[in-house]
Amino acid sequence: MAHVLLIVALACALAVAAWFAVRCLLLKRSLRRADAELREIVERLEENRIVKLPSPDADLEALLGTVNASLAGIRRQAALYARREADLKAQVERISHDLRTPLTSIQGYLALVDESALDAEARASLATVRRKADALQRLIAQFYDLSRFEAEDFHLELGQVDVGRLVRESVAEQYRLLEERGLDVRVEVPRHAVKARANAEALERVFENLLHNVSKYARSSFEAVVEEENAEVAVVFANDVDDVGRLDAERLFEPHYAADASRSQESSGLGLTIARHLTERMGGTLEARAEERDGVAWLSFALRLPQVEPGILHPG
């Protein structure tokens, strides 16, 4: 009799163990599926999906209920953020338009002033007012552009761009400003076409902003170098500066960052921010580095874009 009871007890124990083993396997499978589903949901939050449990379990269902509630909260915050971003963009556009209209009138009246009737001091004051008005116009335009470039729905049509030719043209267009600064200019571009996947107008804007920075802060020398390396087109704009020690190169891309007091005069600091945004929209990178060359401080901006192989057309 005892032998029979022992067998029955052992059978019950085995049955319970088997039940727990099956239960454990089902829960592990459910957790793996829930984890995979949660990863997919996190990657596409806008689809409004929830995590489901394949096998019923009260405790896990309570946990997933909390997870789903958190996902719903994240979606609400994302939607609120998107609305606020759209509202801010619309406000920037309205403010830019409202400021641009009277400023255009002011510049028009300034252009009508007869300088011949003014003495030297008045002419100097007039030149200052015109310069400040032009700076304000550029600032308004940059605020508007930055709001567009940062928007999620802003896209650039990409195609083949001869980067070497565009660098030569951009430097030539800004040569007068560089010459006025008394800079020693060196341009090193391959003779053959150096093509990258980019947007010509956006890349031209990037070069213009970088050259504008050079024309303001270079001390005596500027160089533009275009190279091909590792399936990329690399463009480096570099110039010497007064003091590299006080310069935090990476922060130059932050809006309104001033490395010193002189950088904040008539400069919004948005030009480099816009340049990086446009570069990243083209699938490239734009980095800044401060260094010393033979005891002289230099600041360089390195732009990299995917190279287009000769004879291969990449759709935009």
pLDDT in tens, 68-81: 787 778 778 877 87
**pTM listed for this prediction:** 0.61
| Those residues with Cβ within 8 angstroms of residue 225's Cβ, 6 or more apart along the chain or in another chain | 188, 189, 234, 235, 236, 238
Task: Encode pLDDT of 233-278 as tens digits.
Answer: 999 999 988 865 566 777 888 776 655 444 444 555 688 888 999 9
186-197 per-position pLDDT tens digit: 999 998 999 999
Q: Among 11-25, 175-189, 258-272, which is the least confidently predicted range?
A: 258-272
**What gap in Å lies between CA 219 and CA 226, rounded to an integer?**
22
Q: Render pLDDT for 95-146 as a digit per residue (tens, 0 to 9).
A: 777 777 788 888 887 888 888 888 888 888 888 888 888 878 777 777 777 7
Integer-rounded Cα radius of gyration of the chain = 31
How far is Cα 214 from Cα 223, in angstroms, rounded to an integer? 10
Q: Compute the distance between CA of residue 302 and CA of residue 238 in angstroms, rounded to an integer.
A: 8
Q: Are 199 and 157 in contact (CB under 8 A)?
A: yes
Q: Which of 285, 144, 290, 295 is nearest to 217 (CA)?
A: 290
pLDDT tens sequence across 223-236? 999 999 889 999 99
Q: What's the residue count for the chain?
A: 316
Reduced 3-state DSSP string for the chain = CHHHHHHHHHHHHHHHHHHHHHHHHHHHHHHHHHHHHHHHHHHCHHHCCCCCCCCCCHHHHHHHHHHHHHHHHHHHHHHHHHHHHHHHHHHHHHHHHHHHHHHHHHHHHHHHCCHHHCCHHHHHHHHHHHHHHHHHHHHHHHHHHHHHHCCCCCCCCCEEEEHHHHHHHHHHHCHHHHHHCCCEEEEECCCCCCEEEECHHHHHHHHHHHHHHHHHHCCCEEEEEEEEECCEEEEEEEEECCCCCCCCHHHHHCCCCCCCHHHHCCCCCHHHHHHHHHHHHCCCEEEEEEEEECCEEEEEEEEEEEECCCCCCCCC
Output the pLDDT for position 55. Answer: 65
Compute how many other C-beta atoms are within 10 angstroms of the C-beta atom of residue 252: 21
